[in-house]
Structure 1
Amino acid sequence: GLLRGQVHDPKGAVLGSHCGSAGFFAPLTDLITFSRALVGTNLAGLLTEQTMAQLFSDQTRMVSPHLRGLGWKLVPNPATHRFLISHTGYTGTLLVLDRDHDRGLIMLTNRVHPRGKNNRYLDRRDQIIATYLREMGEN
């Protein structure tokens, strides 16, 4: 049925407060603040330059599309031949951060409303990322 005020992620619903994989539960303004602090000031100096470099470089030694930085999925930027970091959530949220150009993409959606079977959205989300990369490469 329709969920209101409850977790939409099935794993999160089962594990409750013990679920460490919960996605974005914050308003857009807070995500912008977090994103700017991460790429602009290394979270106010909390993270070292070495740690930041690990966020934006392959830590898995696996061939794409399984590229992973330290806690983030890596998105190759064809314009710079460097990586952006990204995180997606079960319900369709998306965060892409470009440290080199101090910009990003935040998308807060709910692909599982009103029903959980909306896999077509996942393909569209990939298209949105590709469009973002293409348009940012033209600027």
Structure 2
Amino acid sequence: MPPTEDIREYYFRQYAKVKKVLNEDLILLDHFNVDSGYQLMKKLLSRESPDNIGFIAANDPLAIGALKALNEAKIAVPEQVSLIGINDISISKYVYPSLTSIRIEKELMGKTAVNLMMERLRDDRQICKKVFLETSIVKRETT
């Protein structure tokens, strides 16, 4: 994996290649904020009119910005375009339509990190551990 590429982007591209659905024109990159999501979706909409397509945003703020651009363009979500965010921030359920999001258990992630660090210090463990925490999808109105 190239060191400058985001790990999420890398694995998304790899998975899309395996499934033979990778379309580089639909991978939009910028900052991870609402304004970027809005500007990127407006840019995409100026090039083409998406229909029967789904977008996965790297976080909820990007997805919320994209949703605003879709609403302004009168593109029906989820009838024409589906949209999923990541992190399940509290505002996601209040936008219109409410945003489907992948919930990452950030509090559990933090507690697990502290527990691993304490264990390593307490037991003088020299071998690293890798921990995987499940995520869940919170299905709302954008899918």
**Shorter-chain TM-score: which interval?**
0.3 to 0.5
Between Structure 1 and Structure 2, whose CA radius of gyration is higher?
Answer: 2
Bigger relative contact order (CA 8 A; separation at least 6): 2
| TM-score of the aligned structures, taking structure 1 as reference length | 0.33
